A and B are shown apart, each in its own frame.
Chain A
Amino acid sequence: MFAFRLDTAAGVPPYLQLVQQVRQAVLLGYLGEGDQLPLIREVVEQLAINPNTVSKAYRQLEQEGLATPRPGVGTFVTGSTGATVSPATYSALRKRLDRWLRDAHAAGLADEEVSALVSVARRELAQEGVA
């Protein structure tokens, strides 16, 4: 069974944390097509979390085409997040990122500084409407 976790200090809304964890698990291959996601009441029991939050996360996954509900049974993983990105593109991007990270570390940047740099760059891109 897929296990969710919740980081209340993350500043990310709880429902979004659940969505991101499923997306990431699909990307990393921990979840695949046809796998069943935990029932809402199982997630509620496990995390002591509001059931509305879990249903909201599952609805979002459905909208993204990442999960499909089967009434009376549960919610199942369908499709994959990588559907719009080919494996070749994905691995090329990953290689460039690895190279960049190595450069950053070689230049003496600590992990924290790397994260800060990425956050700032993403924020500025978002403001330009790119991401």
Chain B
Amino acid sequence: MSVVLEARGLGKRYRSNWALRDCDIELPSGRVIALVGPNGAGKTTFLRLATGLLRPTTGTVTVLGAEATADSAEAHAQVGFVAQDHPLYKRFSVADLLRMGRELNRTWDQDWAVRRITALDIPLTRRAGELSGGQQSQVALALALAKRPRLLVLDEPLASLDPLARREFMQTLMSAVAEPMSGDEELTVLLSSHNVADLERVCDHLVIITDGRVQLAGDIEDLLAEHRVLSGPNTGVLDHADSAHGDSTIHATRGDRQVHVVVRNGGTQVMPGWESHPIGLEELVLAYLSRSKVGDEPVRRPEVEEVRS
């Protein structure tokens, strides 16, 4: 597996508040990676550290072999970033924005950018502020892609878009992933979202962050295969995790009589009276998000093994 981004002991503190801590993670190249977590979990902080827009309080983050810091032009040339709400200079025309991109970037594919904008029926003379939200997002994406990055980072790209604009945005993004790059280079996309349904068809790698900590990371297919939902009688004692199966309980949903438990690395064998089902992506994500909440479930911190390397 070739690695596009590597974080070691990465942490960021604002005053006394840790937005992200003890983050050790490797992200594989050529994938579409989803960064999922509730608002305020540390997603934006992680993305800003990855793009060198923030300086870490602890640890390091290495992108494409170079440490991501604000003054590393080498790293910047290879990373594209679209911030939340895809901000553009509202008074600039689309042509102005393209010219700015050409002037400010070492690598820039003007032909590609113009073709892209034209294909979207966006007039080059139109001011950014006069475009619809969907069009603005498309322009921001085209600007980020025109510099031919090897890593494209998107912070909540879909949050402010209507369903049709979301689809169009994802079509552009996925086409860019499918497009061959020069040499054997491949585009990696890292995008954050709190909406799992949006991600199911586009992402193949998942990172879950809650409370400033990485809870789970891995290929979606592997993660789905490693987890099961066990359903059985609610005897009050539980847990299936405490049973002889050695399962690791992620989260339990209790009804009056029945209980559903999400487990990791559970065998196919289950206790008598229990049923084992495969898990879906949304259910998996919800289990990890719910488990970190303070509630009737014991709060477990991730163990080293849960941060895959």
Contact = CB atoms under 8 A, between A and B. Distances in A.
B204 A6 contact: no
Contact of B204 (A41, A47, A48, A52): A52
Interface string B271-304: 0000000101000000000000000000000000
Given A11-B280, A13-B221, A49 B201 contact: yes
Given A6-B201, A14-B200, A41-B179, A51 B174 contact: yes
A51 B178 contact: yes
A51 B174 CA distance: 7
Contact of B203 (A6, A45, A50): A50
A36 interface: no
B177 A51 contact: yes
A8 B168 CA distance: 17
B201 A8 contact: yes
Contacts of A8: 197, 200-201
Contacts of A44: 171, 174-175, 177-178
With a 10 A CB-CB cut-off, give which of B174, B179, B221, B278 has the most chain A CB atoms: B174
A89 B168 CA distance: 46
Contact of B202 (A11, A40, A41, A48): A48
Contacts of B202: 48-50
A48 B167 contact: yes
A8 B200 CA distance: 7
A45 B171 contact: yes
Interface residues of A, number: 16
B250 interface: no
B226 to A, nearest CB: 14
Interface string B162-195: 0000011011001101110000000000000000
A49 B280 contact: no
A47 B174 CA distance: 9
Q: How would you classify the secondary structure of chain A's contact residues: helix, strand, loop or mixed? A: helix
A14 B197 CA distance: 13
A36 B38 CA distance: 44
A120 to B, nearest CB: 11
Interface residues of B, number: 22
A21 interface: no
B31 interface: yes
A45 B175 contact: yes
B32 interface: yes
A50 B204 contact: yes
A53 interface: yes
A48 B171 contact: yes
B221 A48 contact: no
Given A11-B280, A41-B178, A44-B178, A53 B204 contact: yes
A79 B197 CA distance: 36
Interface string A1-16: 0000010100101100
A50 B221 contact: no
Interface in A26-55: 40-41, 44-45, 47-53
Contact of B201 (A11, A45, A48): A48
Given A13-B221, A41-B179, A48 B280 contact: no
A99 B221 CA distance: 39
B31 A52 contact: yes
Given A8-B201, A14-B201, A48 B170 contact: yes
Nearest to A13: B221
Nearest to B201: A49
Nearest to A15: B221
Interface of B: 30-32, 167-168, 170-171, 174-175, 177-179, 197, 200-204, 221, 224, 278, 280
Closest 5 CB pairs between A and B? A51-B178, A48-B170, A48-B171, A41-B178, A44-B178
